Amino acid sequence: MDNQTPAAELVDIWKRFPGVIANAGANLMVRPGSVHAVLGENGAGKTTLMNVLAGVYQPDEGTVSLAGQQMSFTKPAQAIKAGVVMVHQEFRLIPTFTVAENVALAGSPSIIAKRSIEDSVAELADRFGLATDPSREVWRLSMGERQRVEILKALWQDAKVLILDEPTAVLTPSEATELGRVVTAMANDGRAIIFISHKLDEVTEFCDEATVLRGGATVASSLPVEELDAARLAELMVGEATEVSVRRTRTSPVAEPVLEVRNAAVRDLHGIATVADVSLTVGKGEIVGIAGVAGNGQRPLADAIAGLESLESGTISLGGSSIEGATPKARNAAGLAYVPEDRLGVGLAPRLNVVENAMMRSYRSMTKGPFIDRSATQTMCEDLAAEYKVKVGKFDAPIGALSGGNLQRLLVGRELADDPKVLVAAQPTRGLDVQGVAAIQQIIVEQSQAGLGVLLISEDLEELLALSDRLLVMHEGEIVAEFDPDTTSRAEVGAAMAGAH
Amino acid sequence: MNEETLIGLFLSVIEFGTLLYLAALGELIAEKSGVLNLGVEGMMAMGGVAAFWVGVETGNPWLALLVAIMVGALFASIHGLVAVVLGADQVVSGLALTILGVGVSAFLGKDYVSQAPGARFEALNLGPLNDIPWIGEFIFGQSIIPWLALALGIITWFVLTRTRIGLVLRAVGESASAADSAGSPVVLTRLIAVAIGGALAGMSGAYLTMSLAPGWSEGTTAGRGWIALALVIFGAWKPGRVGVGALLFGGLLALEPRLQTFGVEISPILLSMLPYVLTIAAMIALSIRSRNRPSAAPAALGSTYRREER
Amino acid sequence: MFGFRLQKRETPLPGGQIRAFIVGLLVALLIGALLLLMVDQNPLDIYAKMFSAAFGSSQGISTTLTRAVPLGLAGLAVAVAGSMGLWNIGAEGQIIAGAMGAAWVARLGPDLAGPALIPLMLFAAAIFGGLLAFGPAIARAQLGVNEIITTLMLNEIALRAVRYLVNGPWKDPDSFNFPQAPALPEQSVLPTLFDRASIAVLIAAAVLLVFGVYASRSAWGYELRVAGSSESAAKYAGISLKKKIFTVLVLSGTIAGLGGGLVLMGSSSSPSRLVEGVANGWGFAGIIVAALALMRPSGVAAVAVAFGAVQVGGLRIQTLGVPASVANTLQALILFGALAAAVFTNYKLTRRSAAQAVTA
């Protein structure tokens, strides 16, 4: 194969889902032997486009070619056979299977000799520097190890085009560096690697070229990564200068703490420590930001504060009274509002209607005898929708019919309705469009100026730098650094997020 | 208690064990692919009536067995169509299959009630082997079906653990999306597994009406399908353990009518509760054991898979 | 596969469930007709006779309603658990347990209780049904043990318990060796409403109504729906899942148990007595009823009456030489038809676009 024929080429891809156009004329051209970054904001259509290439979705319009030949995949099996393998963000591994069994699932002889498969898997792993034990069951492995198994599966299928969907999101920095080496080794082996990301530093470090998507369409294709810098990339991705529209007017430091977490530790189901010895304080009217790579303990910390997860040790106090033993209900009643990372499924109940979701916090006080006062809840929900500009078609339609921005406005509005003392907001603007982001940020800033203490957990560094009074960085379950957003830089915070202290 | 009654008991243990094992093995295969089929009782009844009918009409036990297997597989495929392809709830669909099977078999078998069977599997004649004291009678004194069941159990174990087909089947039952993205055909695999499950249940029904309790009457399956379901859980979805369980539960069924002969004062009816009680106990034990590790049940059991869900 | 695939509709078809039920009914009648032709019967004639048996006379209607009582309560029991995403497959056993409970109170002393006998018996029926669900409830809430299988196992255990009682300790000495308990005392039989229907019909209707309203309007019912929609959301909203799972399953058993009491005390056959077949498959049919009613109490009542009619029709044609099992067969067929039809209210069948061959 000569280097001029693209390993994979997607031309003018359109893909519509009910209510959403995920791809609107997207293009991508990937050369063999190269690492190609696909960049874009959440919702830019990266994952959909990759699913089209991998045969998971069929495009409504457009063509897919591999090594110059046009393809029409109707299922992943065909794409895999043609040499396109995707490593999804959520791993598609079978926890009760061993590493070797998971790999063998991707292709094996009819009769499976356990030992020989394990040997071949080990051999392949060695060739690309993927340290793993083929006889171990996957549920016992760390996230980084599981990713290596996914990559092994792809190599086992002799993938010519390997798609990695935000592969570093679940990795520790050292694991990410390791991944970089593996990716380079695979490219040197003549394979084309598609590396989906939204982190500039990784892209410049690992990749050769980059394609940028925005709003489902390609806005820049096959740019050499040397030509990319933060400003240019942000401009391409967002379509305008990356000025965060909402900015906080910082007040003088506030004395009165409303949320105090002391030496908090959390373990997951398998007994692995996810939060280790975290202490933090949020003052009245203060916004405290928490930055960190996904999976470094932000979610369990937020859940533990809200009472959805239990603390192994440590204390939490809200407005001076200890709440670590209290139920989620009691914590909410005591003035704790929580906007969880999973809006639909945790913060909102998908099958219930808009009113039923709006009353999730307040239904207990809106009753006549054992019955819920339906006119009162209806009025409450309409007021809420009006105040927070939630566009609702039908109030008795399932909540899932609302768009992401409207969902979040409803959720945030509901949480703030009772004049809480503290708001814990986890990824409150993730996946929202530009107006949606601005609206949520506006609400957070206004409320904090009115005295609300906010713990803002985000992966969006710009947002954190613009909104926070103080910025904490979480890494491997610990708070590893604290910055003053006015005096620090992206680079400085980024280094702390990567674990360099 | 004399030697004869003891040998009778052993023979009966193997007979009941075979009946349960065939049906349970089928259910195991379906469940391993992620499909819960509560229709075992109905599939057994359909197999039973089909075998009895063909037996009476042709006198050929092998043909009767073959038809029962096919009827079982086809009948199970209703569940496959409704629950796997169309994605309706597996619990409801499976129960409806039981009600349908019991109903239709009664309907079709109306004219055969209390008729003599036209065909049955005789005890094997292995010459000198049959003359070995004890063993000759209760090991080699069986018909071919228990041996067939044993062979099927070993084949199932081998296929599940040592072949690609088994690997795919288990993968589909553990995580349909993982299997799908590895290129395994989820729906097809499940359909085939459900059909095989029905085939084995049909075979079990045929064994019931042709050998174990020759004859046909409405409700002849008498809840054995539920025991087979219980057995799969009791045996933690492992063909070998399910086999041991089949002998244990089969033993209880065989003991039931003999308790008084043995001079035991407990009501045989209370004894007949034991398989269910043991299964509940096993479930609790399994759940306690799996506190810090994945459960023994196939993870995708009971769930529908549709790829383009968004 | 097969060149077709199911594609989700942007909005579900309006009135989909009623349409699905009608389609299911038509499919069932069609397949039923084929079966009837196989045994040389005129399907139209049989169906007409079934219909008139169920609805053609006051006697027919009263029998239909009487049969709808256990179907409705079993259906409600399943629906209550189902609205939280739990499966109570044990209604059959709980009906048996309820009947045993009622019979037990009657044995204890008809003279002792006097006018309170009927309420006491019904109370015991409910308690016994709840007790049978207690184990699965606690195992599911505390250990996460699958309630489908435990409740299923308890059906068989309850069946053997009643078999034991009517063959042994509770066997009627005057029954000429029939396995049955003695007839209930006169004062424990529910008063007649009209023809063959007792006030059991009113009690069941009241229970369905109260639960229908309570489940849809109360804070309790709301919490149930939140938990049924998403366990995480329920936890977030401060709803105790374990407590909810436990109470819902026990309550479900209680409702089915009450159904068992009503069957025993209000049946059209006289005299009323406990027999092995007291549950008569109603618990299983109740699961189909609940599924067809999409777990809604109002729908449960309607489907229960429809199924009651099918059963009465089935009994009628038995006298014409058609096996009564045709009734059960029709019920299962209606469900299969409706299940298949229901899929198409949310999905549509589309042909695969661009069936170009894969060149690789």
> Which letter, b or e, does each residue of C90-111 get, where b requires 16 or more Cβ atoms within 10 Å of its Cβ?
bbbbbbbbbbbbbbbbbeeebe
| pLDDT tens readout for residues A84-132 | 998 887 888 999 999 999 999 988 888 888 899 999 999 999 998 888 8
Average pLDDT over residues A457-467: 86
- Whether residues A307 and A277 share a domain: the answer is yes
Q: Tell me if chain C has a CB within 8 Å of the CB of A83.
A: yes
Contact B183 A95 (CB under 8 A): no
- Helix, strand, coil fractions of chain A, as percent rounded to 5: 35, 25, 40
What's the pTM value of the predicted model, to 2 decimals?
0.87
> What local confidence, expressed as pLDDT, does residue B118 receive?
84
Q: State the pLDDT confidence band at C357, using cuts at 50, 70 and 90.
A: very low
Name the residue range of residue B40's domain.
Answer: 3-305
Q: Tell me if chain C has a CB within 8 Å of the CB of A345.
A: yes
More confident call, C216 vs C347: C216
Average pLDDT over residues C76-81: 96
Q: What residues of B are in contact with residue A93 (Cβ under 8 Å)?
A: 175, 178
Q: Tell me if chain B has a CB within 8 Å of the CB of A268.
A: no
Residue of A nearest to B167 (CA): A105
Per-window interface: B 181-240 vs C, CB < 8 A: 185, 187-188, 218, 223, 226-227, 229-230, 233
Residue that is last in its domain, among A172, A207, A238? A238
Residue C123, pLDDT > 90, answer yes
Residue B167 belongs to domain with CATH number: 1.10.3470
How many angstroms separate the CA atoms of B32 and B59, rounded?
36
When CB atoms are compared, the residue of B110, B226, B288 closest to C156 is: B226
- Whether residues A78 and A205 share a domain: the answer is yes
Residue B253 lies in a domain: yes
Contact C291 B280 (CB under 8 A): no
Q: What residues of B are in contact with residue A86 (Cβ under 8 Å)?
A: 181
- Whether residues A435 and A344 share a domain: the answer is yes
Residue A199 lies in a domain: yes
| pLDDT tens readout for residues B62-103 | 999 999 999 999 999 999 999 999 888 899 999 999 999 999
Residue C321, pLDDT > 80, answer no
Chain A neighbors (3+ CB pairs < 8 Å): B, C
How many angstroms separate the CA atoms of A221 and A229, rounded?
15
Residue B310 lies in a domain: no
- Whether residues A182 and A233 share a domain: the answer is yes
pLDDT, mean over chain A: 87
Q: Which two tokens stand for residue C3?
A: 């060149």
- Whether residues A303 and A232 share a domain: the answer is no
> What local confidence, expressed as pLDDT, does residue A17 receive?
78
When CB atoms are compared, the residue of C7, C144, C332 closest to B99 is: C332
Across the A:B interface, residue pairs with CB atoms under 8 Å apart total 77
- Whether residues A180 and A266 share a domain: the answer is no
Average pLDDT over residues B283-302: 83
Residue B126 Cα, gap to closest chain C Cα (Å): 40
How many angstroms separate the CA atoms of C163 and C93, rounded?
12
In this predicted structure, which of A159-163, C153-157, C341-345 has the lowest mean pLDDT?
C341-345
**Total number of domains constituting chain B:** 1
**Residues linked to residue C256 through DSSP beta bridges, in sequence order:** none
| pLDDT tens readout for residues A363-372 | 988 888 889 9
Residue B131, pLDDT > 80, answer no
How many angstroms separate the CA atoms of C49 and C315, rounded?
11
| Cα radius of gyration (chain B) | 20
Residue A334 lies in a domain: yes
When CB atoms are compared, the residue of A60, A308, A371 closest to C218 is: A371
Which strands form A453-457's sheet, in the order they lie side by side? A336-339, A422-426, A453-457, A287-291, A470-475, A478-483
CB C181 within 8 A of CB C99: no
Collect contacts of A384-388 with beta carbons under 8 A, ≥24 apart.
A384/A358, A384/A410, A384/A413, A384/A414, A384/A417, A385/A354, A385/A358, A385/A410, A385/A413, A387/A413, A388/A412, A388/A413, A388/A443
Residue A4, pLDDT > 80, answer no
Neighbours of C126 (CB within 10 A): 26
Whether the bond into A18 is cis, omega within 30 of 0: no
Residue of A nearest to B173 (CA): A94
Contact B178 A92 (CB under 8 A): yes
Residue A173, pLDDT > 70, answer no
Picking from B31, B53, B107, B112 by the largest number of C CB atoms within 10 A of its own CB, the best residue to mutate is: B107
How many angstroms separate the CA atoms of C105 and C122, rounded?
9
Residue of A nearest to B168 (CA): A105
Residue A241, pLDDT > 70, answer no
Which strands form A69-71's sheet, in the order they lie side by side? A20-30, A8-17, A61-66, A69-71
Picking from B86, B233, B260 by the largest number of C CB atoms within 10 A of its own CB, the best residue to mutate is: B86
Q: What residues of B are in contact with residue A75 (Cβ under 8 Å)?
A: 180, 183, 307
> What local confidence, expressed as pLDDT, does residue A1 receive?
43
Residue A391 lies in a domain: no
> What local confidence, expressed as pLDDT, does residue C2 receive?
47
Name the residue range of residue A152's domain.
Answer: 8-238
Average pLDDT over residues C124-153: 94
- Whether residues A137 and A283 share a domain: the answer is no
- Whether residues A193 and A296 share a domain: the answer is no
Q: For tokens 């063509």, what's the residue? A: A63
Q: Tell me if chain C has a CB within 8 Å of the CB of B97.
A: yes
| pLDDT tens readout for residues A386-420 | 999 888 888 888 887 787 788 899 999 999 998 99
Contact B293 A153 (CB under 8 A): no
- Whether residues A90 and A150 share a domain: the answer is yes
> What local confidence, expressed as pLDDT, does residue A198 receive?
67
Picking from B161, B169, B181, B306 by the largest number of A CB atoms within 10 A of its own CB, the best residue to mutate is: B181
Residue of C nearest to B87 (CA): C343
Q: What residues of B are in contact with residue C156 (Cβ under 8 Å)?
A: 223, 226-227, 273, 276
According to DSSP, the β-strands at A61-66 and A192-197 are: unpaired
Residue of C nearest to B109 (CA): C323
> Which letter, b or e, does each residue of A172-200 get, where b requires 16 or more Cβ atoms within 10 Å of its Cβ?
bbebbebbbebbeebbeeebbbbbbbbbb
CB B211 within 8 A of CB B147: no
Q: What residues of B are in contact with residue A110 (Cβ under 8 Å)?
A: 163-165
Average pLDDT over residues A287-315: 90
| pLDDT tens readout for residues B223-273 | 899 999 999 999 999 999 999 999 999 999 998 888 877 877 788 888 889
**Total number of domains constituting chain A:** 2
Q: Tell me if chain C has a CB within 8 Å of the CB of B144.
A: no
| pLDDT tens readout for residues B159-182 | 999 999 999 999 999 999 889 888
In this predicted structure, which of A230-239, B61-70, C260-269 has the lowest mean pLDDT?
A230-239
Residue A474 belongs to domain with CATH number: 3.40.50.300
Contact A18 C237 (CB under 8 A): no
Q: State the pLDDT confidence band at B276, using cuts at 50, 70 and 90.
A: very high
Residue C246, pLDDT > 90, answer yes
* Helices and strands of chain A, counted as H and E runs: 16, 22
Q: Tell me if chain B has a CB within 8 Å of the CB of A270.
A: yes
pLDDT, mean over chain C: 86
Residue A281, pLDDT > 60, answer yes
Residue A163 Cα, gap to closest chain B Cα (Å): 13
| 3 state SS of B69 | helix
Q: What percent of chain C has pLDDT over 70?
A: 89
Chain B neighbors (3+ CB pairs < 8 Å): A, C
Contact C235 A348 (CB under 8 A): no
> What local confidence, expressed as pLDDT, does residue A228 receive?
78
Average pLDDT over residues B174-202: 93
